[in-house]
Chains A and B, each alone.
Chain A
């Protein structure tokens, strides 16, 4: 067994999920089955492999997947791999009203939530 009832409750708490009592056992069994399957990854030797952290596109040409021991920038290690940056100029972004219109409880210009600071 990879995952216990306590693990499920701990993870639910980290993820801000309230689980009904009957959900806890269901998820425990399902997560256990999935994690057991995922356990097949433990059988591979990855000691000399850099993790693929970014899906960074290249400016030209087909991009090379990382080789063993390649740089840590993941999806590409070839020159010209830097993402294109836009000019650093101010652009209008006057969307506050449209955004607040979607809020469950807005008090313009704020989102209202239950009190978080006790006096």
Chain B
């Protein structure tokens, strides 16, 4: 058995083909690591060893027979607990789904397994993916493996921590306003939000349907690229899934970045940005220039309105999506004398404070007399934010910003003030509202050793381009700049 602490998709494949390990042995090794580290990190909520070993045995049988292997053959993966897994408990980090076991797999999960991936288990997250620190999980917060007194970010904190602590080779998260990119930045990992419609949402338990996206966490760009190439593509089970051809991402990332125009919007470098984060991201941009990219100063004037817009649009959609949790068909039921009493008691007991807060905010924004002033206005400002991006992509090939205004904050630091927590998403929600793809890549550390993330936005369906820039950045040493 190998003792290499950090496996990659490539090293797993090589070790399997050279018969230095088997998929079963590798899965066992990862479960041993999880057993050792998870009590401290709280990254996993559920493990599925039966399913993992069955899949590993299939991969090992293929290797024994010399049959062709899928691109993720034998690779241990972790899945955020808002993504449905047949026969494996899926709680969304909520008490209301504490005993829910989906009767089907999400399309992304199905595609990973078809490619040979071994699903280890389900990762912790903020309840229904609502949060920026993972402290809203009904099952306790995740600790950042880089600094245990700090948050791993959210909402996909468990997936980020699992990969950062080498408890999984790669993981799937979901991003609604920054929930992949921000924990990626806080834990020092490449983490990607694909274009809206690029990866099927079938089986992703909905928070905000016009914003939710599934994407990968990895330790390197080649791995993130391989996962993207497996999960991207049209799915007839998701009517918002795009019928847009998926390019060969692994070929795309090898292309030279010389001559690419990178936009740097001044609106993302103003007040509130931590000086250490600012300095590193500027050094990152300078490195890309050294690689031949052309820096273009940009103005994206509606950036400052993004948080306000996001917290109306997302909560409005959430209030509608979460109406389904009423104790009738699945999940928790608290008995009542009338149907209405049963609904109300079930929801009062089952939802945590942040989820209730967002349901109420969204209900308010959609309610009679307030709809025009809040929801309709937010949808109009959303159009202006999307136009900022469209205008920018007429001049540039990619946009570079910090991922988050600060490095990972301390556990408990922001829990008393919801609005302050929302502002942690200030640089990520813009791309969420516009529907464009974005990635956070590691960009050095603070003097105290906390990871910093640099964000790269691309235009719609241009994932190949931002992966290509990320790959060049990684190879030039940008991750540890």
Which residues of A come within 8 Å of B, CB atoms? 3, 7-8, 10-12, 14-20, 23, 27, 30-31, 33-35, 37-42, 44, 46, 49-60, 62-68, 74-75, 83-84, 86, 95, 98-99, 101-105, 111, 113-116
The answer to whether A65 and B434 have CB atoms under 8 Å apart is yes
Between A and B, how many residue pairs show CB distances below 8 Å? 197
The list of the 4 closest CB pairs from A to B, nearest first, reads A57-B242, A51-B379, A65-B386, A104-B333
Distance of B98 from chain A, by nearest CB (Å)? 12
Known contacts A16-B343, A34-B419; A95 and B103 CB within 8 A of each other: yes
Q: Can you report 17 residue pairs joining A to B where beta carbons are below 8 Å apart? A: A16-B347, A17-B347, A19-B356, A20-B348, A33-B419, A37-B308, A41-B305, A51-B380, A52-B380, A57-B195, A62-B459, A62-B462, A104-B328, A104-B332, A113-B342, A114-B335, A114-B341
Set of chain A residues within 8 Å of B330, measured between Cβ atoms: 99, 102-104
Distance of A57 from chain B, by nearest CB (Å)? 3
Residue-wise, chain B 386-421 has the 8 Å CB interface mask toward A (1 for contact) of 110110010000000000000000000000011100
Say whether B321 faces chain A, with CB atoms less than 8 Å apart: no
Tell me which of B252-260, B360-368, B470-478 binds A. Answer: B360-368
**Cβ-defined partner of A99 (8 Å) among B329, B340, B393, B417:** B329
CA distance A113 to B236 in the complex (A): 34
The answer to whether A58 and B337 have CB atoms under 8 Å apart is no
The answer to whether A102 and B380 have CB atoms under 8 Å apart is no
Distance of A89 from chain B, by nearest CB (Å)? 11
- Interface bin, chain B: 35 or more
The answer to whether B386 and A57 have CB atoms under 8 Å apart is no
Set of chain A residues within 8 Å of B384, measured between Cβ atoms: 44, 46, 49
Say whether B53 faces chain A, with CB atoms less than 8 Å apart: no
- Nearest-neighbor residue (CB-CB) of B326 within chain A: A16
- Nearest-neighbor residue (CB-CB) of B322 within chain A: A15
Say whether B381 faces chain A, with CB atoms less than 8 Å apart: yes
Known contacts A30-B357, A38-B311; A83 and B364 CB within 8 A of each other: no
Task: Tell me whether chain B's interface is mostly helix, strand or loop, or mixed.
Answer: helix
CA distance A81 to B197 in the complex (A): 13
Set of chain B residues within 8 Å of A65, measured between Cβ atoms: 383, 386-387, 389-390, 434
**Cβ-defined partner of B360 (8 Å) among A12, A42, A60, A68:** A12
Known contacts A17-B347, A74-B383, A95-B103; A113 and B339 CB within 8 A of each other: yes
CA distance A48 to B433 in the complex (A): 19
**Cβ-defined partner of A84 (8 Å) among B234, B331, B332:** B234
Distance of A3 from chain B, by nearest CB (Å)? 7
The answer to whether A38 and B308 have CB atoms under 8 Å apart is yes
Distance of B191 from chain A, by nearest CB (Å)? 21
Distance of A65 from chain B, by nearest CB (Å)? 4
**Cβ-defined partner of A66 (8 Å) among B236, B323, B342, B383:** B383
Known contacts A27-B360, A75-B386; A102 and B103 CB within 8 A of each other: yes
CA distance A23 to B354 in the complex (A): 12
The answer to whether A114 and B336 have CB atoms under 8 Å apart is yes
The answer to whether A44 and B381 have CB atoms under 8 Å apart is yes
Set of chain B residues within 8 Å of A99, measured between Cβ atoms: 103, 329-330
CA distance A38 to B210 in the complex (A): 20
| Chain A CB within 10 A, most for which of B302, B311, B364 | B364
Known contacts A34-B361, A38-B374; A104 and B327 CB within 8 A of each other: yes
The answer to whether A51 and B326 have CB atoms under 8 Å apart is no
**Cβ-defined partner of B348 (8 Å) among A3, A19, A40, A116:** A19
The answer to whether B357 and A52 have CB atoms under 8 Å apart is no
